[in-house]
Amino acid sequence: MRATPRLGQRSGPPAPPPAGSDSRRLTERAFRIRESGIIVVLVVFTAVTTAVRHRFLGVTNIQFILVDTTVFALLALGETMVVISRNVDLSIGSVLGLSAYLSANLFGGHQGIPIPLVFLAGLGIGLGCGLVNGLMVSVGRVPSLVVTLATLYIFRGIDILIVGGKEVVAASLPPGFTNIPKATIGGVPDLAIAVAIVIAIGAYYLRSFRSGRELYAIGSNPDAAQLAGIPVGRRVFTAFVISGGIAGIAGVLWAARFGTIDSTAGTGYELTVIAAVVVGGVAIFGGSGSVVGAALGALLLNTISSALYVLGISPFWDQAIAGFLLILAISIDRLISARLTAALRLRGRQHA
């Protein structure tokens, strides 16, 4: 006599796992491999450079690299949110420059102004710029590449008009402000610790919150995301506003780091940040990547830049190396994407 399955029990062979779970597992595995690969390259590169120049691993140089990386890692956080939604923000360097000058100039025009208020001013400037980008992309339906390429020059032009031939010098800034990048805890810069916490929060948000996960869905397939009821326009708008706000904060930190600010502040940063994001494993075509990987990409590029300086190699090689790594990362992304697609198709046939 055949036994009747009890309530709650399954009869027959177990059901195959859904394709979506396979896709997520394979994608997360690819992320881990990419991030681990960056760490391996970073360790090998550091070891080789140290073998040639022992002072490369000195405490002062490590602190210098970490502080320099903080600004790029922050910018990479905002850029990652935009790129995974299948967009790009080319205006972040100009937003940083505009925020750096206007916020630092407040110390000269308003004696005794609290430092937190200056950071709020930088945040407000960045949010305003991000608002302009977000509205034109999400409401105006203008491609983000066109919009942010235009605002890159518009914001830089506004910066040049405001600054003119003037500049903010370190002597006009309060010691409490310029000492922000110099403060350390156990030899580790406070700023690096704070930015690492912000990166961790950003990574948790994108992984655990619905609005963060929806950015990946939008980047993977905007039309399908729209049909699924995801508010595509609102999410893309929010990503641009956040990117702008982060660039505004990064501008204030840039001013504290360098002290002397003119109309050239942040010039060319957008390409370096995009390179760091893509090298860190964020797909330039959207839909995949992680904030931690983007931050590691920023650390790798800054480590390479510092190593070139220590080795006495011309800094002009920075851009060539960044460009090479960008092309290499995009090629690897396409290879990984092809392998994932083939693996998922094979699993689908096996479960069919």
Q: What's the per-residue H, E or C state across 187-249?
A: CEEHHHHHHHHHHHHHHHHHHHCHHHHHHHHHHHCHHHHHHCCCCHHHHHHHHHHHHHHHHHH
Location of structure tokens 């405001």: 162
Q: Is residue 44 part of a domain?
A: yes
Domain that holds residue 200: 31-340
Q: What is the CATH number of the domain that holds 91?
A: 1.10.3470
78's CB contacts (< 8 A; 6+ apart) are 89, 92, 242, 243, 244, 245, 246, 247
Q: Is residue 9 part of a domain?
A: no
Residue 74 has a pLDDT of 95
For residues 259 and 173, is the Cβ–Cβ distance under 8 A? yes
Q: Is residue 214 part of a domain?
A: yes
CA proximity to 34, closest of 318, 351, 260, 290: 290
CA proximity to 205, closest of 234, 239, 229, 228: 239
Residue 2 has a pLDDT of 44
Q: Is residue 127 part of a domain?
A: yes
Q: Is residue 26 part of a domain?
A: no
Kindly give the residue spans of alpha helices, DSSP state H, lying in 7-58: 19-52
Reading the chain (352 residues) residue by residue, the pLDDT tens digits are: 444 444 444 444 444 444 444 555 555 566 566 677 788 888 888 888 888 888 888 889 999 999 999 999 999 999 999 999 999 999 999 999 999 999 999 998 788 899 999 999 999 999 999 999 999 999 999 999 999 999 999 999 999 999 988 888 888 899 999 999 999 998 899 999 999 999 999 999 999 999 999 999 999 888 899 999 999 999 999 999 999 999 999 999 999 999 899 989 999 899 899 999 988 888 888 888 889 999 999 999 999 888 888 888 877 777 787 778 778 777 776 776 666 666 656 666 666 5
Q: Is residue 173 part of a domain?
A: yes
Interior angle at CA 274, CA 61 and CA 177, nearest 5: 45
Residue 21 has a pLDDT of 47
Distance of alpha carbon 239 from alpha carbon 222, whole angstroms: 15
Please tell me what DSSP assigns to residue 16.
P
E strand segments, the chain: 184-185, 188-189
Q: Is residue 124 part of a domain?
A: yes
Domain count, the chain: 1
Residue 34 has a pLDDT of 66
CA proximity to 128, closest of 110, 165, 102, 166: 102
Residue 318 has a pLDDT of 74
Q: Is residue 120 part of a domain?
A: yes
**Sequence-separated contacts (24+) of 331-338 with Cβ below 8 Å:** 332/34, 333/278, 333/281, 333/283, 333/284, 333/285, 336/30, 336/34, 337/283
